[in-house]
Amino acid sequence: MSKLLYGINCLTVLAMLFAYISPYIDPAMTGLFSFFGLGFPFLLVINILFFFLWLAFEPKYALLPGIFLALGFGAVTRTIGFNPTVTDQEGLTVMTYNIGKTRIDFHHKNRDKKIAAFRDFIKKEQPDVICIQERLPRHLKYYKEIFIGYTLHPAADDIGTAIYSKYPIINAGNLAFDTKSHNATWVDIEVKDKKFRIYSMHLSSNRVPNLTDNVKEIWDESKYILDKYNVHAVMRTSQLKEVLQHAESSPYPVIFNGDFNDVPQSYVYRMIDEKYKDAFIEKGQGLSQTYKSRFLGLRIDYTFTDESVTILDHDIIKTPLSDHYPVVTTIGLEGKKP
């Protein structure tokens, strides 16, 4: 029995090795490794369980998962935040939120109740800047009831991304991708004596299995992901490259926010992580998950900043208002300490 389990463990270690390699392989070359990157949180848990199982019953076998867990500690920190909890910090609070579920909820018979719940949530959290994805222009009248006291960009364009700011917007624009559903919006804002460029982006989407107990439905949707995931991964690479090139001309420190539709063990993540820092790694806590799914630890919504930006806090708020969880990052305004 031990040999059989060890054989299975060898396969899970091999799969985790492929997940470690995933960020370094352009999906335009092959999509093989991307699938393993997507499943990294699951592989991580399985190998941790094997490690403790072997420690308890066959210590010599614990060496294999132990070595690979240690080799991939950097990848682990992108999935699990080990930072201490911080008290409330004063700074610029930036929320990124894919509100896709409101497309249905705001047409529901209980629409007024849903709008009121959303308005109460924003009133409670009071973020300074809100980066929205998957908005519907025809819902602008409802958004006006929710985002009270904010300046909006773009005000009426037929695109899915938008930014609401309590601070003056001194410049703004949009980046159109190949589809109307996926695009990026940016604003330059002035906060006290500081200026920032803030992006809200929505990169090409994958379908993710819904919360269902129907095994056939889960299998059918999972097969769809395996068939189409790499197609969208290539599109995301191109879209993110466009945003990063645009940001190079920014005269101010940059803050990227949005639904990247890709996991930390991906080529897309590495593209932006090479130059900018992930707010979750800096200040996040616990197992990261920003999308409601049976996929364990599915973090696809991010905030990245310039190295010069001080990140004071980072939080993923578990609320049922959408199929994504809002991500809130607090940015320091006193300047980066030497």
Write out the H or E segment, with its range, that includes residue 278. Answer: strand 277-278
Q: Which of 244, 246, 275 is nearest to 260 (CA)?
A: 244
- Digit-coded pLDDT (tens) for 177-228: 877 779 999 999 999 889 999 999 999 987 554 434 444 555 555 555 666 7
Q: Say which CATH architecture domain 92-331 belongs to.
A: 4-Layer Sandwich (3.60)
Strands 183-191, 151-153: pairing is unpaired
According to DSSP, residue 103 is labeled: H
62-90 pLDDT, tens per residue? Answer: 999 999 999 999 999 999 999 988 767 78
Burial class (CB in 10 A: 0-12, 13-18, 19+), 35: middle
Copy the structure tokens of residue 304: 């990245």
Confidence of residue 293 (pLDDT cuts 50, 70, 90): confident
pLDDT tens track for 128-185: 999 999 998 889 899 999 999 999 999 877 789 999 999 999 999 999 987 777 999 9
Count of Cβ atoms closer than 10 Å to residue 126 Cβ: 10
Q: How many C-beta neighbours within 10 Å does residue 71 have?
A: 12
Q: Which of 119, 64, 41 is nearest to 289 (CA)?
A: 41
Three-class SS state of 262? coil
Q: In 195-307, which ranges are continuous DSSP H helix?
A: 215-247, 267-273, 279-283
| For residue 253, cis peptide bond before it (omega within 30 degrees of 0) | no
Q: Mean of the per-residue pLDDT values for the chain?
A: 90
State residue 71's pLDDT score: 92
Quote the Cα angle for 144-149-153, to 5°: 65
How do the domains of the chain map onto residue ranges? Answer: 2-77, 92-331
Nearest alpha-carbon partner for 317 in 70, 48, 93? 93
- In the chain, the amino acid numbered 301 is D
What is the pLDDT, as a whole number, of residue 251? 97
